[in-house]
Amino acid sequence: MNTSGYTLVFGGVEFDPQKFLANSPLESLVDAVVLRGSKCPDGSLAKESWIEFDDVHEGKYPLDMGWEAADFLAEHREEFLRLSRFPGVTSRSLNFFGDMDSCDLTFEPERIALLNDLSLRLSITPYF
């Protein structure tokens, strides 16, 4: 069975996730912290450090992923702004994935402006 959902990733070669998380209310919401040079699941070494937030489900995502991701970003807007501008952060992405039968994805114009405010790259990966 395929998975569907989204990941939100902030990273960079010189980024220190632990320094950011030391005084961040986002710390309890983080799903993964990867440090540059640590071993990745595929056996390679991470070329940069990153923080990942995700909402992933087996099979069909139960709600509209666009709305859920945008609501999460809006709820923590100020802290995500701080993270997107934190020293060393050079990559920022919001990644959606799933097949046409497993997910809905809607982004209203005001939510697109939020992605721009956070300098987020948007990636949509459909399964065929």
pLDDT digits 0-9 by tens, 56-84: 888 777 778 888 899 999 999 999 999 99
Percent of the chain with pLDDT over 70: 93
For the stretch 75-109, pLDDT in tens is 999 999 999 999 999 999 999 888 766 666 777 88
Closest CA to 98 of 122, 121, 125, 123: 125
Query: CB burial class (10 A; 0-12, 13-18, 19+) of residue 112?
Result: middle
Number of CB atoms found within 10 A of residue 96's CB: 20
| SS3 call for 81 | helix
- Paired sense of beta strands 91-99 and 3-12, if any: antiparallel
Residues 24 and 83: beta-carbon distance below 8 Å: yes
CA atoms within 13 A of residue 12's CA, in its CB half-sphere: 16
- Paired sense of beta strands 32-34 and 91-99, if any: unpaired
**pTM summary value:** 0.89
Give CA–CA dist 22/4, Å, rounded: 31
